Amino acid sequence: MAEPKKLYIKTYGCQMNVYDSERMAEAMGGAGYTEVTRPEDADMILLNTCHIREKAAEKVYSELGRFRDLKEARPDLKIGVAGCVAQAEGAEIMRRQPLVDLVVGPQSYHRLPEMEAKVRAGGTALDTDFPEEDKFEKLARRPKAKRGPTAFLTVQEGCDKFCAFCVVPYTRGAEVSRPAARIIDEAKDLVERGVREITLLGQNVNAYHGTGPKGEDWTLARLIWALNEVDGLERIRFTTSHPNDMGEDLIEAHGACAKLMPYLHLPVQSGSDRILKRMNRSHTAEAYIRLIERIRAARPDLLLSGDFIVGFPEETEEDFQATLDLIEAVRYGQAYSFKYSTRPGTPAAERAQVDAKAASERLQRLQALLARQQREIQAEMVGRDVEVLFERAGRQPGQMVGKSQYLHAVHCLAPDAEIGDIARVRITGTAPNSLAGTLL
């Protein structure tokens, strides 16, 4: 029996890339590969890349350069680049880094085994098409190995919004939703292997419009209600959402669906209507605030998370102050904030850029405000009882670490608990990025 070949995957970026890396590993498992944790041990290295952050492509080329000595020492080592940088750069990656053997876009990774076979035969392989076939349907069924208590599940890919700063429509393509029955089957399979919480993923997840079992159109809310009926699945989350696709049925689900957790990531990006229009966000700050009010009316204990871009082209101090005002009005428990960086090929890249020093100073002020809100909201949790899904053992004997329904990390002594248990915990203290509690 042939010895298994070894695969090392390094994942950059969002939860969807984490999910994609899992499926890549499963696809390559069918080609005789097992995963390893160090590139030095691998027969194939895959970089699953993200194009969202600043200088994403250059960081990939820098990472590839670190593998040059490995490749020279072992010419049979195969190196591949997958994901959104692969989609955007294509053959340019192979031209700039000849040590790369294959390049595959995020819609084509189901073809990895055939590409690997071509590479093993002495060739190179490039596939950045947007194929007509459903990659999820082409992928082998997930192996029945035991899983941790939480898992990601992609339900929708691509985006039709064309925000002026974003490359996703160009690297992931148009919005496509998976059929509901396949998602439910995959969720049941995950639960059979120990998963108790599933996060539904999409570049614009609440734009989900999948085909139902009888050919009808399902919204994300309808899919959530169907998953609510899956025995053994205890928690449902979803990310990332667009305010314009937050339908009334989804708002209602937040108030009525027992398994849908009271946490929502709903990016706004800016509080200035002028900048929102320049971003092509198609909503106003006031509309966003009114939307949050309706969601919180349905679920008063909702913890809100958001995204913010500081220093977008032509942003003035007045525009930036409007963003601070929106944050004060909404109040975020968590948030992600970034200084704008250009993405070649996007409309905003051609516009007058904000002074880098001014943008950095604004980012510091914005992050200070967000950090203060996070501290205040975590402090308000002290004395409250929460439900914690234990995900791992802590550093101290008998300590367990898990997530509350609000996605806070919670540490507590629970010597008799096991990973996957859900326990009631009273919060007794707060740290910068976690809470401490006592098992009830």
Q: How many CB atoms lie within 10 A of CB 21?
A: 20
| Final residue of a structural domain among 356, 381, 406 | 381
144 found inside a domain? yes
| Final residue of a structural domain among 350, 381, 412 | 381
99 and 224 share a domain? Answer: no
326 found inside a domain? yes
> Could you tell me the CATH number of the domain that includes residue 390?
2.40.50.140
412 is in an annotated binding site: no
Q: Answer for the pair 330, 306: CB distance below 8 angstroms, yes or no.
A: yes
CA dist 266 → 67, 238, 246, 298, 422 (Å): 38, 10, 9, 16, 26
162 found inside a domain? yes
Domain of residue 18: give its range: 5-127
Asked, as a colleague might, if the bond just before 199 is cis with ω within 30 of 0, I would say no
Q: DSSP 3-state assignment of 419? A: coil
Task: Give how many domains the chain has, as a whole number.
Answer: 3
151 and 263 share a domain? Answer: yes
Predicted structure pTM score: 0.84
174 found inside a domain? yes
168 and 72 share a domain? Answer: no
363 and 238 share a domain? Answer: yes
Q: Find the helix packing angle between 220-227 and 248-256, rounded to 10°.
A: 20
What whole-number distance in Å separates Cα of residue 36 and Cα of residue 9? 8
Q: Answer for the pair 121, 142: CB distance below 8 angstroms, yes or no.
A: no
CA dist 349 → 49, 101, 104, 346, 402 (Å): 21, 31, 26, 6, 41
* Nearest in space to 223 (alpha carbons), one of 247, 242, 203: 247
48 and 18 share a domain? Answer: yes
pLDDT of residue 378: 97
133 found inside a domain? no
Q: DSSP 3-state assignment of 41? A: helix
pLDDT of residue 134: 60
Q: DSSP 3-state assignment of 113? A: helix
> Could you tell me the CATH number of the domain that includes residue 205?
3.80.30.20
373 and 428 share a domain? Answer: no
342 and 422 share a domain? Answer: no
Structure tokens at 427: 């919060």
* Nearest in space to 201 (alpha carbons), one of 395, 14, 394, 403: 14
300 found inside a domain? yes
| Final residue of a structural domain among 92, 127, 162 | 127
257 is in an annotated binding site: no
CA dist 309 → 176, 256, 317 (Å): 26, 33, 14
Q: Answer for the pair 98, 64: CB distance below 8 angstroms, yes or no.
A: no
113 and 192 share a domain? Answer: no
25 found inside a domain? yes
99 and 245 share a domain? Answer: no
| 6: Cβ contacts below 8 Å, ≥ 6 apart | 33, 34, 35, 36, 41, 42, 43, 44
9 and 91 share a domain? Answer: yes
DSSP string computed for 166-231: --HHHHT-S-EE--HHHHHHHHHHHHHTT--EEEEE-TTGGG-EEEPTTS-EEEHHHHHHHHTTST
261 and 291 share a domain? Answer: yes
What whole-number distance in Å separates Cα of residue 338 and Cα of residue 98? 33
> Could you tell me the CATH number of the domain that includes residue 71?
3.40.50.12160
132 found inside a domain? no
What tens-digit pLDDT sequence spans the chain (440 residues)?
567 899 999 998 778 888 889 888 888 888 889 999 999 999 999 999 887 666 777 888 888 999 999 999 999 999 999 988 888 888 888 889 999 999 988 878 888 889 999 998 888 888 877 655 565 665 655 555 678 899 999 999 889 999 999 888 887 888 999 999 999 999 999 999 999 999 999 999 999 999 999 999 999 999 999 999 999 999 999 999 999 999 999 999 999 999 999 999 999 999 999 999 999 999 999 999 999 999 999 999 999 999 999 999 999 999 999 999 999 999 999 999 999 988 878 899 889 899 999 999 999 999 999 999 999 999 999 999 999 999 999 999 999 999 999 999 999 999 999 999 999 999 999 998 999 999 99
R_g (Cα) of the chain, nearest Å: 23
pLDDT of residue 53: 63
CA dist 177 → 153, 155, 262, 421 (Å): 12, 6, 24, 32
Question: In the chain, what is the straight-line distance between the N-terminal and C-terminal CA atoms, in Å?
Answer: 52
277 and 403 share a domain? Answer: no
